[in-house]
Amino acid sequence: MSGQVAALILAGLCLLPVGACTQRSARVGGPGAARDAAAADPGAALAGTAKRATAVVASPEPSGQDPALADLLADDLQLRAATYVNPAVVRLELERQGRRWRAKWKAMGVGGSELQEGLDGNNSPRCEVAAYRLSRLLAGETGEPLVPPVVVRALHRDVPCDRSCRHIPKLIGADIPATFPAINDHLVLGALTLWIEGARPPQRLHGELWSPERFAANREYRRSVSDLFLFLYVIAHGDANYGPNFLLRSADLGRVYSIDNGRAFDGVPYYVGEGEPDWQPLAELAPHKLIAPRFAAATVAALAQLTVPRLQQELALLAAVELGSGRAVSEPQREAALSAMRGQPLEAIPGLVKHSRQTYTGRVGGQTFVLLGIGAPGIAQTAARAQQAVAYLRRPGGRLFGD
């Protein structure tokens, strides 16, 4: 990518919400999904001229909402820096109410397309949100989610606006295309994901991401890595044989994360025989080939609850953005206007317009929404894999641990 193109991309990613804005490498021949690259382009960090926008008052977080999700969805974000990671992904340094953190921004394809860099399935924010939600279910009260918090939200193009979306944080650069221009040509939708600090991608599976010695000695790692292998199998991760899709906590290698989950559930897999042989076991996961010798009883109990009706409630409607105002719905299942959709496949709801696999738009309660979910076949297959894993791990002689 030329410096001119990189500058254009980054110039379009400066948020202008309430005050001044100061201003992982893709696999060759493979998906251009976000990677926690060890060395981002050093010339891509931005520090631009300050620019003012209309102040907005932060809304109180809904009771019980994950604070990280509330931050990612807030309209009073301020961007302090942006760093190019790959042609589709920018790492943002954000500030809100005196707190700073980093996040990853990846815009949706125009019209909700899942194409990226010519590859279908490379840009599927709905699957990323589904992975986060399912990882929370598996973690329960005793574990930690394997997937960092992620939301689908809108940002505003840098164009004059007197519409109801004028309060949405702005992007510098009108050349950035709107996601659904026929509905609202001011808004760009995408996935905003919390950046995991103090972690690095593993260089190899055996001896690093997977270590029998660490499994035996470290209780936190034992739960984390065994949960990871189960999780990858249950969601049908289609690009798991690639190290940069994962992170290890740097200090002690005691915690693992799955950070690239777009090719999962009913998304498009990407197993083309190009992975390194050391990582191949992650492309061949099955109930009898889950790598770890034991699994957490609490995680297996959580898996047993992943029936089709439960997953329909959790995954059929994952994200919703009202395209007039740009408002991202924090909990679509509890949104009054969308309550009738709860637990129904989007493809079964009359009046919606399909744009890609499970991305729809439609008018609901007098408002136009973009709606993202996992389809009925993907939910049924996920439930079936969960029950197959449970049956195998609870068989006589199955080895579970409780610590």
pTM above 0.75, yes or no: yes
- pLDDT tens digit string along 137-146? 999 887 789 9
Q: How confident is the model at residue 105 (pLDDT cuts 50, 70, 90)?
A: very high
Hey, what's the torsion of the CAs at 374, 378, 380, 381, to 10 degrees?
-150
Neighbouring CB atoms inside 10 A of 30's CB total 16
The pair of structure tokens assigned to 343 is: 């637990």
Stretch 298-316: mean pLDDT: 96
pLDDT of residue 15: 53
Strands 400-401, 295-296: pairing is parallel
102: part of which helix (H) or strand (E)? strand 99-107
Q: How confident is the model at residue 89 (pLDDT cuts 50, 70, 90)?
A: confident
Q: How confident is the model at residue 274 (pLDDT cuts 50, 70, 90)?
A: low
- Closest by CA position to 132, among listed 318, 378, 372: 318
Dist. CA 379–CA 264, nearest whole Å:
11
Q: How confident is the model at residue 88 (pLDDT cuts 50, 70, 90)?
A: confident
Beta-sheet strands, E only, within 157-266? 187-194, 199-200, 246-249, 256-258
Dist. CA 386–CA 300, nearest whole Å:
9
Handedness of CA 237, 111, 53, 14 (dihedral sign): positive
Q: How confident is the model at residue 27 (pLDDT cuts 50, 70, 90)?
A: very low
Output the CA angle 301-258-216, nearest 5 degrees.
60
Dist. CA 105–CA 13, nearest whole Å:
9
Q: How many helices (H) and strands (E) does the chain have?
A: 8, 16
Stretch 42-58: mean pLDDT: 27
pLDDT of residue 118: 77
